[in-house]
């Protein structure tokens, strides 16, 4: 297991204000390379906050389709190499065979790794449909989820420089949240934490502090959640992907205001005149 690393560092800087300029201290978040290695071979390296490594490894494995169930992972070993973190993930027989076949398919004829049309197809992989979910939210659920997420972001409160992903269950609030310098990383860590806790993704909504890209929709679908709620805007591809997956995409949550881009039937609120 890796030694515990500091999540933040205090630095000095010149703070310029209207009243003048002065030397002052500020807390900033740490980030470090985190390598995911399967069967002794590095598959991906992410720049991430140095925390929640096992959640990260499990969540990444699930949301990237490397495993379909946590039981397909035999062991996760975290090693601190100084320059970064190496996470060795041992897959059970069937999962390992499937992963090795996937690596061969993606390697390409010149051994260049993820390249060309096959990597494009991988990036644009189809997502699981979540349309059968019975979850419904009201307008207060949407705005409350974002307010509650803001209260469980200690790293952001200290630095103002990291993202968060939380899981909101109506009547319970944010049941699990994770933070990271990377928005995808925060969502992967949340996915891993939910899987470890045995929480069904269909029971609530994913709430994120970032914009919604297609990867965020793909990872939310892998969690099994039928609703994603975001503080910032979605991309056009994310909207199309959420629509096809039967997912409700709510974004631009600012105070009591928000926009529902896909499958609005899960959000119960009054509909009034058209707003540009």
Give the model's confidence band at 120: pLDDT under 50 very low, under 70 low, under 90 confident, else very high: low
Domains and CATH numbers, the chain: 32-123 (3.10.20.10), 137-268 (3.40.140.10)
Give the model's confidence band at 3: pLDDT under 50 very low, under 70 low, under 90 confident, else very high: low
Q: Residue 39: what pLDDT? A: 86
Please state the rounded mean pLDDT for residues 25-31. Answer: 96
Query: 125 or 161, which is more confident?
Result: 161
pLDDT beyond 60 at 233:
yes
pLDDT beyond 70 at 116:
no
Instruction: Give the rounded percent of residues in the chain with a pLDDT score beyond 70.
Output: 89
Give the model's confidence band at 98: pLDDT under 50 very low, under 70 low, under 90 confident, else very high: confident
Q: Give the 3-state secondary structure of the chain.
A: CCCCCCCEEEEEEEEEECCEEEEEEEEEECCEEEEEEECCEEEEEEEECCCCHHHHHHHHHHHCCCCCCHHHEEEEEEEECCCCEEEEEEECHHHHHHHHHHHHHHHCCCCCCCCHHHHHHHHCCCCCCCCCCCCCEEHHHHHHHHHHHHCCCHHHHHHCCCEEEEEEECCCEEEEEEEECCHHHHHHHHHHHHHHHCCCHHHCEEEECCCECHHHHHHHHHHCCCEEEECCCECHHHHHHHHHHCCEEEEEEECCEEEEEECHHHEECCCCCCCC
Q: Residue 110: what pLDDT? A: 44
Please state the rounded mean pLDDT for residues 206-233. Answer: 97
pLDDT beyond 90 at 136:
yes
Active-site residue 269, yes or no? no
Q: Residue 119: what pLDDT? A: 62
Query: 9 or 3, which is more confident?
Result: 9
Please state the rounded mean pLDDT for residues 11-39. Answer: 95
Please state the rounded mean pLDDT for residues 86-105. Answer: 87
Q: Which of 39, 112, 120, 124 is catalytic?
A: 112
pTM: 0.91
């Amino acid at each position: 297991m890796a030694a515990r690393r500091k999540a933040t560092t205090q630095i000095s800087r010149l703070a310029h204000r209207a009243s003048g300029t002065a030397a002052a201290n500020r807390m900033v978040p740490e980030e470090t390379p985190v390598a995911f290695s399967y069967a002794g071979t590095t598959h991906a390296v992410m720049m991430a906050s140095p925390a929640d490594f096992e959640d990260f490894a499990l969540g990444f494995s699930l949301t990237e389709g490397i495993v379909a169930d946590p039981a397909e992972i035999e062991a996760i070993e975290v090693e601190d190499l100084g320059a970064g973190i190496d996470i060795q993930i041992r897959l059970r027989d069937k999962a390992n065979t499937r992963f090795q076949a996937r690596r061969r398919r993606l390697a390409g004829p010149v051994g260049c790794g993820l390249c060309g049309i096959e990597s494009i197809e991988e990036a644009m992989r189809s997502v699981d449909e979540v349309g059968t979910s019975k979850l419904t939210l009201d307008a207060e659920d949407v705005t409350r989820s974002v307010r509650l997420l803001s209260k469980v972001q200690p790293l952001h409160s200290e630095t103002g420089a990291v993202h968060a992903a939380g899981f909101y269950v109506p009547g319970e609030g944010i049941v699990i949240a994770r933070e990271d310098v990377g928005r995808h990383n925060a969502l992967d860590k949340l996915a891993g934490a939910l899987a470890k806790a045995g929480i069904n993704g269909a029971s609530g909504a994913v709430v994120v502090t970032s914009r919604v890209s297609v990867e965020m929709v793909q990872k939310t679908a892998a969690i099994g959640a039928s609703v994603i709620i975001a503080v910032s805007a979605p991309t056009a591809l994310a909207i199309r992907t959420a629509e096809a997956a039967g997912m409700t995409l709510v974004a631009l949550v600012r105070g009591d205001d928000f926009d529902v881009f896909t499958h609005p039937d899960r959000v119960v609120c009054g509909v009034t005149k058209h707003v540009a």
